[in-house]
Amino acid sequence: MKKSMNAKMDYNYFHRKTSVQTKTIGKKNYTYRFLVETLNKYKYKDKEILDIGCGSGAIDFYLARNASYVLGIDISENAIKKCKESSRLLGLQNNTLFKVVDFPRNFIKQKFDIIICSEVLEHLKEDELAIKQIKKMLKNNGIAIISVPSKNAPLYKWGFASDFDRGVGHLRRYSINDLSSLLKNAGLTIVEVRKIEGLLRNFLFLNRNAGKLIKFLKSYLSDITTMLDKALILLFGESNILIVAKNKKS
């Protein structure tokens, strides 16, 4: 999500073909696997959750069956429209809500147990403001789960990700120190740092043709591909970073 009118038009265009969700994802869903693992680890059951840059709402519908309440926000009117349709189709209207919000210029005047900001910061001109707004919206001892593309990504360092970054609206990439400093400067405490994507997984998401294979990576195929990808992180470095930060009571 970006905050300008042009960005809003861009993301509406991007989401023009976003599909209505007809079923909720599983915990081994390849696209959301690491995010689901992290949310399960920090026990989202009966929690109030905010998803910034919710897109199709796939992760929100997964959470909604056990969370107290899930709010998804996005700058794209098309995305939010599809989320609302999906919510009705899945029978999850009672504990999901979706709103068009121009974040971080605008934010939700409500506090949450968990805030998800996955693959969003790199699109925002004012990333420092975004983290400050996230802190404002966190309850005492609430957690923020932030994921971003890494400067250390092999395909990025080798010059194969520049066109992709421009095409999807990435303004920057982050190192672990970059993201950690942003969170600490906003008054958040780092709880966990994860390197979550290797060369193989990154290639599948960057390459349109190869990416068509992702929908077939289920169950044991997802397990095998993930094991191989983790080995590639050790060899070549990570392509994405995930940090969990807590709003500790002072």
* Tokens standing for residue 162: 């520049």
Each residue's pLDDT tens digit, 133-144: 999 999 999 999
d(CA 146, CA 107): 17
Domains of the chain (ranges; CATH) run 5-196+241-246 (3.40.50.150)
The predicted-structure confidence for 136-192, as pLDDT tens digits, reads as follows 999 999 999 999 999 999 999 999 999 999 988 999 999 999 999 999 999 999 999
241: Cβ–Cβ under 8 A, 6 or more apart, which residues? 147, 148, 149, 150, 174, 175, 176, 179, 193, 194, 195, 196
Question: Tens place of pLDDT for every residue, the chain, 250 residues?
Answer: 434 445 555 777 666 667 888 999 988 888 899 999 999 999 999 999 999 999 999 999 999 999 999 999 999 999 999 999 999 999 999 999 999 999 999 989 999 999 999 999 999 999 999 999 999 999 999 999 999 999 999 999 999 999 999 988 999 999 999 999 999 999 999 999 999 999 988 988 887 765 566 665 666 677 888 888 999 999 999 999 999 999 987 6
